[in-house]
Copies of this chain bind each other. A is one copy, B any other.
Amino acid sequence: MAAHGVVDGHSCEHPWVRVDATGTIVATGAGVPPTAANDTAFDLGHRLLLPGMVNAHSHAFQRLIRGKTHTLAAGNPDSFWSWRTAMYAAATTLDPDGVYQATRDCFAEMLAAGITCVGEFHYLHHRPDGRPYDQANALSQAVIAAATDVGIRLALLEVFYARAGHQQQLLPEQRRFCDASVEAYFARVDALRGRSSQQLTIGLAPHSVRAVGFDALVAIADYATRHDMVVHTHVSEQPRENRECHAEHGCSPTEILARAGLLARPRTFTAVHAIHISERDIELLATQNVCACPTTEADLGDGIVAADRLLAAGSNLCVGSDSNAVIDLVQEARLLEMHTRLATGRRLCLLSAQRQQLGPILWNIASTNGATALGRPDLGELSVGRPFDAVVCEPAYPKVADEPNAAFDAMMAAGTAACIRQVFVGGRRLR
């Protein structure tokens, strides 16, 4: 029992939740809970009970270069593309144990920051020279092991990467990202799908329209439909990607993804970034998910997602920690709103007649909406039949007068993930 919370999708006072031995919610309510045998009652006092956050886009190993790309001396990473050179250098060094350690450390920081499920957009597959490991999925298994050991739920978004770009020579550092063919990729995914569980789901991730040709996009759309899988793709993060797509296909990245059939099933496709997009692209993404990564998009000079227009069109907006320089979905969700204010000169950009308070809207973006994007409709809400994945927050951080709505708004509009005090996954307290 807590002073306040979001339970059954609604903000309420004095919510309580009953969880069975499997970690599943068996009853919820507000006010004084009826006692039952075997109840272990937690009185959370003035704290706030919320669904665990869902991180819809991560590259865990990139945390290794946190703080190391901000000097003029270090290879001059003064653009997205030169930053990528520094990131590739880190990617080249990792063996399976290195991938495991970097991912475990990153996921542990996520869990402490209130993230109970992460979508790992995983593109390190083979040896640095491109030859497969003896175990073809050795690096994917290292990521799975890291998630298991930390206790965070994982949506492994297995990347297909085929080329540097249309008619461009593959860089040596990109060799380990590439499968021999889309069939070889599907064989790896088949093996991974066999390991699916409550803790692990597998999604498909054609890296970008730069790195994947049209035929492979069509094949991936077909495979995803047959196996009822979600698909995530980097979309229009940089203007150069759009220019190259127009040169190759005569249309935008979103349009070619639609043409390949990837946007046919509602809410199964997630466009990551979707910054440099047209009105037509917004229409195409109206029935799909858009994952913004505001701290990374600022760090890399990508630009500002048109969150207000995507929301008005009907897109499901979620957030990701992406490069993991910052791991804080409170900040990501806030900056989605704040960057939109900077771009439009207006306030309250993500509010609407239906949703009138900023705090719950931003939390929803950082939890429920991410769960949708990762194909986990069972997560992101505290209600009967779902796993108890939850966080307990100190809403008076930063301090405001003792009004629950203002405290929730202040936490999301001005606070950080430092507000998080307890974290539960599947009923187990992990922090």
User: Which A residues are closer than 8 A to B by beta carbons?
Assistant: 64, 66-73, 77-80, 82-83, 105, 109, 239, 295, 297-304, 325-327, 338-339, 341-342, 344-348, 351, 353, 356-359, 398-401, 403, 405-411, 413-414, 416, 418
Contact = CB atoms under 8 A, between A and B. Distances in A.
B66 A341 contact: no
A348 B72 contact: yes
Contacts of A351: 70-72
Given A67-B410, A67-B411, A342-B342, 7 more contacts: A77-B347, A78-B348, A79-B345, A80-B347, A298-B339, A300-B347, A301-B342
Contacts of A339: 298, 342
Contacts of A71: 351, 356-358, 405, 409
Contact of A298 (B77, B342, B353): B342
A400 B102 CA distance: 11
B398 A347 contact: no
Contacts of A297: 342
B359 A70 contact: yes
Contacts of A416: 416, 418
A26 to B, nearest CB: 33
B348 A77 contact: yes
Contact of A414 (B303, B326, B398): B326
Contacts of A398: 66, 109, 326-327
Contacts of A304: 342
A407 B67 CA distance: 6
Given A72-B351, A347-B300, A356-B72, A67 B413 contact: yes
A95 B80 CA distance: 52
Contacts of A358: 70-71
Contact of A303 (B72, B82, B345): B345
Nearest to A345: B301
Contacts of A83: 347
Nearest to A410: B67
Nearest to A80: B347
Contacts of A401: 64
Given A67-B413, A70-B409, A71-B409, A78 B346 contact: yes
Contacts of A338: 295, 298-299
Max chain B Cβ within 10 angstroms of own Cβ: one of A66, A300, A408: A66
Contacts of A409: 67-68, 70-71
A414 B294 CA distance: 12
27 contacts: A67-B410, A67-B414, A68-B403, A69-B347, A70-B358, A70-B359, A71-B357, A71-B405, A72-B357, A77-B348, A78-B346, A79-B346, A79-B347, A80-B347, A109-B399, A239-B345, A298-B341, A299-B338, A299-B347, A301-B347, A302-B345, A304-B342, A325-B414, A326-B414, A339-B342, A416-B416, A418-B418
Contacts of A418: 416, 418
A406 B341 contact: no
Contacts of A72: 348, 351, 353, 356-357
A228 B413 CA distance: 40
A357 B72 CA distance: 7
A413 to B, nearest CB: 5
B325 A413 contact: yes
A348 B70 contact: yes
Given A301-B341, A303-B342, A66 B410 contact: yes
Contacts of A325: 410, 413-414
A224 to B, nearest CB: 33
